[in-house]
Amino acid sequence: MSGYPATHFCKQCEQETPHSEVLVRKTSSYDTDTSLLGRIKLMAHTFINGGHYYDMDRYVTCKVCGHKEKDNWGKEFE
């Protein structure tokens, strides 16, 4: 991404267009356990590992056509 407003190559428009970025938390293996012990494990995982900031997927959305795509770069988003 370069400059302001952010631009990104849109595969649907086939040109550089303004985009917005959204970070979405990846689901954890503890998310599916709805018991009290499962909730405690999820909270401990979040506090110890910084799970709510570390496990994120980056999505960019074209402001022209609305096309949304996953755009992770490097190991910091994996």
Instruction: With beta carbons less than 8 A apart as the criterion, state whether 42 and 30 touch.
Output: yes
The pTM of this model reads: 0.60
* Cis bond upstream, residue 5 (ω within 30): yes
What percent of the chain lies above the pLDDT cut of 90?
3
Residue 32 to residue 34: CA distance in whole angstroms:
6
By the 10 Å C-beta count (0-12 exposed, 13-18 middle, 19+ buried), 67 is classed as middle
Helix (H, G, I), strand (E, B) or coil at 27: coil
Q: What is the pLDDT of residues 32-69, one digit of tens each?
A: 778 888 888 888 877 777 655 667 788 999 989 989 99
For the chain, what are the domain ranges?
7-70
